[in-house]
Chains A and B, each alone.
Chain A
Amino acid sequence: MNALRAELRKALSLPAVWAGLAVTLFGSTAIAVLNSGRGKTAFETALGGMPLGTVGAVVIGVVAFSHEYTANNADAGGGRQITTTLTVTPQRIRILLAKVMAIVLLVVGSAAVTLPVTIGITHLIVDTTGPGVSFGDAIARCLGGTLYWTLMALIAFAITVILRNGVIPLIVLIVNSSVVSVSFLLSKLTSLAFWLPDVAGLRLFSDVMTVEGALDAGPGGLVMTGWAVVFCVAAGFVFTRRDA
């Protein structure tokens, strides 16, 4: 519990985490506003900004761990925070669990603010007389979107732990959440690509962006969760066995 509190305080003291939260909230809102008046229902308009939320989640997941490895100013000894963290909490699995919980809390929190705000705004400015989504469907897709963001953040976190470097996960995961997603391109060549983590989870929140053949929300969500668990277990294995 103390470890979790420490990790949350550390994460919230990072400007990059706030930047990630801001990208999620303001980016999604801005896209939703710009997207309004294009003939889509209010709900679809609100979810149009989901890719920006994914970027925000990825940034949070990566930075929450990569900052531990950033060398301090050489004038202040050039140390890395990870040595302090390990001195204070020598149980390495506990550190990882605390980090995972802190990331989940931050991402779920950002979704809990962002999704109602964007949906509220689009309901105010988009003509809602047309056929809308049922309430249960809307809730399911919002929860699905939250799960997608959380899992992406955890995958980003686990890759960062394994590589001890934030640049590669940032590039790979931001590219893959954009329209030039490599996984999406692969899915045109082989249907096996629908089992890749980012494509598998797409239907959790969207049914317009996906092409024929993608996994449904239920199985896709399970596949994506499986990927996140595998990555996190691998990260735990590596982190407990390696010099910091």
Chain B
Amino acid sequence: MRLGNVVLSELDKLRTLPITVLTMAGTITVAAVIGAAQRRAAAPVDVVPYVQAGFLLLGILPVGNEYTGRQFRTSLIAVPARGLLAVGKTAAAVVALMLTAVAAAAVQYALDTEAEGIGRYVGMTAYLMVIGLLAYAIALLVRHLVPALVGALCLVLILSPLLAGLTEHARWLPDRAAAELYQPTDAALTGPLVAAAWIAVIGAVAIRRFHRSDG
């Protein structure tokens, strides 16, 4: 059994799941519509916070879908090596997230009349992928779609802004830390590392659970 085949089969699963394709298309459409509407606005806002919900969902779907029916058992019969399955699934999720993030950032770049350089848009792509991967790790840990979705949405969209208004320590939250990828500050390297640490810790616990639990 080769890793390539596992990745291809996981990508096939994502492609044939209508909600994944709809989420990708919907996220890019929202990015385009808000970006276009901002051209008329007096004080343009940052589009990234508005599209991160799409990336959260896209990160959760590859795992959430496995546990809604019997699919996880079928997957394990086809690929009994759980580590290989986890790696293949993660790679497929990264591909789906990357395609969507690149498209969403490209739309912003095309709409931005006074784009100051491509660097910010590369950072935006990276940030959106980090957000998606965070959701993926949470979903792998929680193993159910709705709790993972509500948890990730609350963490990124509700708790993080609320806490940011209250304490400066909120900058250690994964999404705040990762935001330094496209909103550079003096600590430009620390932020992404902190976000990567969050994903690594959640992901490590999740993969341990993936290995040990019943299907």
Contact = CB atoms under 8 A, between A and B. Distances in A.
Interface of A: 16, 19, 23, 31, 34-35, 38, 48-49, 51-52, 55, 59, 63, 66, 70-71, 74, 78, 166-167, 170-171, 174-175, 177-180, 182, 185, 188-189
A151 B175 CA distance: 30
A170 B157 contact: no
A174 B146 contact: no
B73 to A, nearest CB: 9
B163 A51 contact: no
Dominant secondary structure of chain A at its interface with chain B = helix
B162 A51 contact: yes
Contact of B41 (A19, A38, A48, A189): A189
Contacts of A166: 146
A185 B145 CA distance: 28
B197 interface: no
A200 B50 CA distance: 20
A19 B145 CA distance: 14
Contact of A174 (B49, B154, B161, B162): B154
Interface of B: 19, 34, 37, 40-41, 43, 45, 49-50, 53, 57, 68-70, 145-147, 149-150, 153-154, 157-158, 161-163, 166-167
B2 to A, nearest CB: 29
A52 B162 CA distance: 10
A187 to B, nearest CB: 11
Given A180-B161, A189-B40, 16 more contacts: A19-B147, A31-B166, A51-B158, A55-B154, A63-B146, A170-B150, A174-B153, A175-B153, A175-B157, A178-B153, A178-B158, A180-B49, A180-B157, A185-B37, A188-B41, A189-B37
Given A34-B167, A74-B69, A74-B70, A171 B57 contact: yes
Contacts of B149: 167, 170-171
B41 A182 contact: no
Contacts of B167: 34
13 contacts: A16-B147, A19-B150, A31-B162, A34-B167, A35-B166, A38-B166, A49-B162, A71-B68, A170-B149, A170-B153, A171-B57, A171-B153, A180-B157
Given A171-B153, A174-B150, A185-B45, A55 B53 contact: no
Nearest to B145: A167
B159 to A, nearest CB: 8
Nearest to B48: A180
A103 B49 CA distance: 31
B70 to A, nearest CB: 4
Contacts of B154: 23, 52, 55, 174
A178 B163 contact: no
A225 B149 CA distance: 28
B147 A175 contact: no
A34 B163 contact: yes
Given A31-B162, A174-B153, A174-B154, A180 B50 contact: yes
Contacts of B150: 16, 19, 55, 59, 170, 174
A178 B41 contact: no
A143 B45 CA distance: 33
Contact of B53 (A19, A48, A175): A175
Nearest to A31: B162
Nearest to A166: B146
B158 A170 contact: no
